[in-house]
Amino acid sequence: MWFYEKKLQYPAKVGRANLRMAKYLITQYGGPDGELAASLRYLTQRYTMPTGQAKAILTDIGTEELAHLEIIATLVYKLMDRSTVGEIEAAGLGAYYADHDKALYYVNGESVPWTAAYIQSKGDPVADLHEDMAAEEKARATYEWLINLSDDPDLNDTLKFLRQREIVHFQRFGETLQLVQEHLDSKRVY
């Protein structure tokens, strides 16, 4: 089970309202390599992991990704804050506004809604952990490209924190893959 903690994992700041960046950043909310996909992928793959260690890391990283989802939501919320309908339309977000006003919705930068087809849960721990490592690298690259698109130092500070977390998660999944492989090899001896 889960309880909510009424705080963010990291102080999510933006220097100024910026609809252009809001439009790009929403992909880390509901896009293919975003935080929702990451969290739901790990939290559903954990049930069929072979070791307590692998179950733990998927539970813990899946939970941390929910905290990242909240950070992205906070950033998008702040980037859109106080903007007028005219500004929203000029930034190419008129269609988004028609469906959602300034509410947060799970879409990518082109307003394609989130789908479970973004993720897999194969039941084979080696296949699943390879997917997880790739997912972390894709999320890291997305943060990289978002930082390239942004000239707001406050926003970039939070994006760099999130990028760094993907690197740590990749490392932990890599170690888990090795531990799982050792576990599977030890069973094969008999």
Residues in touch with other proteins (CB under 8 A): 3-13, 53, 56-57, 60-61, 64, 70, 73-74, 77-78, 168, 172, 175-176, 179
With CB atoms as reference, the residue minimizing the distance to Fe ion is 169
Asked if residue 140 binds Fe ion (CB under 5 A), the reply is no
Distance in Å, CB of 53 to other proteins, minimum = 6
Q: DSSP for 118-159? A: G----S-HHHHHHHHHHHHHHHHHHHHHHHHH---HHHHHHH
Among residues 12 and 139, whose Cβ is nearest to other proteins?
Answer: 12
Distance (Å, rounded) from C-alpha 68 to C-alpha 64?
6
Question: 166 contacts which partner out of Fe ion, other proteins, none, CB within 5 to 8 A by kind?
Answer: Fe ion
Cβ proximity to Fe ion, 9 vs 53, nearer residue = 9
Nearest-angstrom CA–CA distance, 185 and 66: 33
166 touches Fe ion (CB under 5 A): yes
The residues facing 107 across adjacent strands are 113
Binder of residue 187, out of Fe ion, other proteins, none (CB less than 5 to 8 A by kind) = none
* Kind and range of the H or E run holding 102: none
